[in-house]
């Protein structure tokens, strides 16, 4: 056993950096992918920034629902900024190497912001639950102090756990290869590179996925079961349509994000493949943030009116 351990430690000591393969299997499309990713990044940044601006400037949007939406839009900008700039640098320079420290830092931010997104989506569902199921108590329950506490809690509650998770992953020995068949540093492709049996390290990953993913998702489902039940009891079709329109956008975002993220983190290791993992990761880290501003603006009359006012001001 001792010689084997020495071998692993010796190999691990030689791994000073990883290589993010990303789009390396598409050598003829590097320039096109760089332009495409740049456009996507601009769409995400501008679209979510507009949501933040109008929720701050328009008095009609000074409500808890839009306070959380502004937080969510800012989160999406941060979330995509952890991954897309690195992808752009790799496409532009064709230098795909990343140090272990930078890789760990990227993973830590990605996990922390992912946990924040799960909690924030749950908070937004709770806000809709109170607004629709207990409208008379809504101003009292969702007061300014409560909104700030829920937002801050969503942002900071996952930090210590995700730092610990990152430290645990990067305490592993990497001895076979330093090539990550992925666009960024994420847990499943990193675990593949680790020496020996990693099942003991996979258990905390599943437990944290249940804590930060499944638990908020169950809270969202519970909220929407109450919301749908209340909407169906409304006397008029117009009232039902109006009530449902206030939460349909959020429900669509929930399905897009949780669907792809859950498949990625709760599948057994034997069901993971590089192609499917890369596709799913692009979906919940890039595609969803790109469509969020469109989903919320096109399906929300208040947001559309605020955007019209902003365009008139300009």
pLDDT, one tens digit per residue, over 110-165 is 999 989 998 999 999 999 899 888 888 899 999 999 999 999 999 998 899 899 88
- Return the residue matching tokens 């749950």: 122
* CA 295-149-75 angle, 5° bins: 35
Phi and psi at residue 286, in whole multiples of 5°? -125, -50
* Residue 218, C-beta contacts closer than 8 angstroms, at least 6 positions apart: none
- pLDDT surpassing 60 at residue 272: no
Q: What is the pLDDT of residue 77?
A: 93
Q: How far apart are the first and last CA of the chain?
A: 71
- pLDDT surpassing 80 at residue 196: no
DSSP 178: -
- pLDDT surpassing 60 at residue 297: yes
Q: How high does pLDDT run on average in the chain?
A: 81
Tell me the torsion sign for CA atoms 16, 17, 18, 23.
negative
CB 211 within 8 A of CB 114: no
Sheet holding 97-99, edge to edge: 97-99, 17-20, 179-180
Alpha carbons 278 and 101: distance in angstroms, whole number: 22
Q: What is the pLDDT of residue 120?
A: 92
Of 6 and 156, the one with more pLDDT: 156
Mean pLDDT of 186-215: 80
Please state, for a pLDDT cut of 70, what percent of the chain lies above it: 85
Per-domain boundaries in the chain:
2-313
Give the CATH class of 2-313.
Answer: mainly alpha
Mean pLDDT of 272-284: 71
3 state DSSP class of 28: helix
Q: What is the pLDDT of residue 311?
A: 63
Helix (H) or strand (E) holding 20: strand 17-20
Of 172 and 20, the one with more pLDDT: 20
Q: What is the pLDDT of residue 5?
A: 42
223-269 pLDDT, tens per residue? 888 888 888 887 777 767 776 776 777 777 887 777 777 666 666 65
Q: What is the pLDDT of residue 19?
A: 87
């Amino acid at each position: 056993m001792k010689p084997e351990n020495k071998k692993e430690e010796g190999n691990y000591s030689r791994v000073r950096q990883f290589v993010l393969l990303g789009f390396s299997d598409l050598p003829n499309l590097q320039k096109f992918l760089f332009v495409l990713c740049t456009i996507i990044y601009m769409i995400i940044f501008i679209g979510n920034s507009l949501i933040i601006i109008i929720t701050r400037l328009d008095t009609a949007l000074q409500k808890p629902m839009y306070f959380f939406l502004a937080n969510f839009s800012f989160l999406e900008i941060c979330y995509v900024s952890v991954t897309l700039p690195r992808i752009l640098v790799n496409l532009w320079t064709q230098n795909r190497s990343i140090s272990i420290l930078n890789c760990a830092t990227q993973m830590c931010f990605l996990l922390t912001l992912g946990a924040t997104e799960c909690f924030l989506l749950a908070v937004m569902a709770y806000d809709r639950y109170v607004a629709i199921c207990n409208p008379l108590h809504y101003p009292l329950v969702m007061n300014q102090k409560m909104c700030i506490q829920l937002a801050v809690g969503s942002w900071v509650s996952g930090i210590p756990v995700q730092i610990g998770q990152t430290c645990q992953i990067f305490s592993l020995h990497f001895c076979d290869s330093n090539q990550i068949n992925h666009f960024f540093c994420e847990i499943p492709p990193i675990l593949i590179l680790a020496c020996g049996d990693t099942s003991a390290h996979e258990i905390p990953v599943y437990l944290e996925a249940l804590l930060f993913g499944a638990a908020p998702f169950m809270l969202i489902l519970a909220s929407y079961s109450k919301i749908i039940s209340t909407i169906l009891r409304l006397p008029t079709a117009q009232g039902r349509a109006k009530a449902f329109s206030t939460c349909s956008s959020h429900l669509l975002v929930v399905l897009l994000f949780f669907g792809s993220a859950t498949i990625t983190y709760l599948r057994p290791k034997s069901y993971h493949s590089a192609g499917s993992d890369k596709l799913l990761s692009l979906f919940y880290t890039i595609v969803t943030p790109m469509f969020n501003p469109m989903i919320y603006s096109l399906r929300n009359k208040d947001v559309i009116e605020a955007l019209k006012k902003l365009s008139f001001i300009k």
